[in-house]
Amino acid sequence: MTRHHPLVLGIDSSTQATKAALVEADTGRVRATGRAPHEVTGTGGARESDPATWVRALCAAVGSALADLAAHGTDPAAVTAVAVAGQQHGLVALDEAGRPLRPALLWNDTRSAPQAASLLADLGGEEAWRARTGSAPVAAFTATKWRWLRENDPDAAAACTAVRLPHDFLTERLCGRAFTDPGEASGTGWYSTALGAYDDELLALIGLDRARLPRLAPTGASRAGPLTTAAARALGGLTPGIPVAVGTGDNMAAALGLGLGRTGLLHHPVLSLGTSGTVFAATETRSTARGVSGFASADGAYLPLACTLNCTLAIDRIAALLGLHRDDALPGGETVLLPYLDGERTPDVPGASGILSGLRHSTTPQQILGAAYEGASVSLLRALDSVLGAAGADPAAPDVARLPIRLIGGGARGSAWVETVRRLSGRPVIVPASGEVVARGAAALAVAAATGADPVTVALGWQDTGATELPALDRDAAAWERVGGFLDRATPLL
């Protein structure tokens, strides 16, 4: 076999699956990919996964990618570094032997909404939280899940000697060392963006000992340690001892993969359409704005972000109920549908359910589906203006209003999503050629861990020549006002 270009391995462990990408370190060309599904269980507000399934999925996805690579004549020894990006916020509780005590509580598990409210009150309200962490606690945050665990599964909480987030857990399995980065840590509720460190007063408030947490590295590009012999063997024949980056959260990795950061694009908005809907932009300014999570980034800057719980899965469910394909949608006409099938995070109404209004005899199933797209999109685009403001940009300023939306995630491959976002945003839209933006960002972290390069600069040097660039459409003001007005009236009642 020949070695060709040096490769790096970028891993995206998301809610639904693990994706692995083998990427040429110097060009960014994706040479091989692999994918393996996860299992999510739970009814009502519960959403859990067994962390062991993530490990199995990681091994399967990487093994598949390496097999594809070998079939084309490239030796796995060409892989020079590894990095993991993972779904944010999830709580993994480990015993003294490092084994999971119970299924992990995922970011979209809303059972800890009462604990979020109690934590908010315990510190004196939202402004006090934002001053310290940049964010107000919601049910997604890990701190609320730890309090839920202490109150609802006290035996597991008492036996827990280590707390990890999903990407921390997987990185530790690769190199045997427990690290996290500021980007991932900033979604916990116990990391202070003001201090750039864990906040001991918040840890005491939450009832969590710092000794249970992973060490905090300066950035996600820092080296966590060398790949262990056991991990190299389990992954299908990688070279033991190659660097494993600290890694980061999935949204932070997506930003890196798109070249957003202090050495790259600032204030350029990104809209991610996946299980969740997410909007974010990179900035050098720490955010404490209301309605936005003031996260840190993986490269030492900041990533103000807003997230909705109901995105592609909710729309697909409504399409299935109507017996339609997801791309059969038409503009909603007079119909408004807020697809809050799993509660909602933005706006923060964790107990909400979906609302359908404005039906007529003439309303078609295609219009109802289109109204679902519009409801989800308006929620995200309203949040986008808040994110841009938190990033220090005026959303109404002509130069900012002309910035294109970078549309990523599974929904970006669907014409109905793309056209609804274009119609309601009035902005140009760019759809990157690579569908695995998170894995690509992880790959940039791996290059940085191996070489000491800046990961944003690395990603910017990887030309995305196949990106689709769509011009702006005139905003559909009638649909915007219809859905936005209904949302304003309905939210206080949800």
Tens digit of each residue's pLDDT (9 = 90 or more) over 89-114? 999 999 999 999 999 999 999 999 99
Q: CA 235, CA 149: separation in Å to the nearest integer?
A: 32
Q: Where are the alpha helices (DSSP H) in 235-322?
A: 250-257, 312-322
Q: What is the mean pLDDT of the chain?
A: 95
Of 159-173, 221-235, 399-413, minimum mean pLDDT range: 399-413
Q: CA 157, CA 180: separation in Å to the nearest integer?
A: 21
pLDDT grade, residue 276 (50/70/90)?
A: confident
Q: Which domains does the chain have, with CATH numbers?
A: 7-250 (3.30.420.40), 259-431+464-494 (3.30.420.40)
pLDDT at 3 over 80: no
pLDDT at 350 over 90: no
| C-beta of residue 295 within 8 angstroms of C-beta of residue 254 | no
Q: Which of 12, 109, 168, 250 is catalytic?
A: 250
| C-beta of residue 150 within 8 angstroms of C-beta of residue 115 | no
Task: Count CA atoms closer than 13 A to 286's CA, side-chain side.
Answer: 15
When pLDDT is averaged across residues 451-476 and rounded to a whole number, the result is: 92
The reply to whether omega before 347 is within 30° of 0 (cis) is yes
Q: What is the dihedral of CA 213, 217, 219, 225, to 10 degrees?
A: -100
- 69 three-class SS: helix
Interval 219-274: pLDDT, tens: 999 999 999 999 999 998 899 999 999 999 999 999 999 999 999 999 999 999 99
pLDDT grade, residue 66 (50/70/90)?
A: very high
| C-beta of residue 207 within 8 angstroms of C-beta of residue 137 | no
- 67 three-class SS: helix
Cα four-point dihedral sign 230, 231, 235, 241: negative
Nearest C-alpha neighbor of 44 from the set 139, 102, 111: 111
How do the residues of the chain divide into helix, strand and coil, expressed in percent and rounded to 5? 40, 20, 40
Which position has the higher pLDDT, 346 or 91?
91
> What φ, ψ does residue 386 adopt, rounded to 5°?
-65, -40
pLDDT at 348 over 90: no
Q: CA 141, CA 110: separation in Å to the nearest integer?
A: 10
Report the predicted TM-score, pTM, of the whole model to 2 decimal places. Answer: 0.92
> What φ, ψ does residue 278 adopt, rounded to 5°?
-135, 140
When pLDDT is averaged across residues 460-475 and rounded to a whole number, the result is: 90
In the prediction, which pLDDT does 103 show? 98
**250 classed as catalytic:** yes
In the prediction, which pLDDT does 4 show? 63
Q: Residue 91: beta bridge partners?
A: 105
Q: CA 344, CA 17: separation in Å to the nearest integer?
A: 22
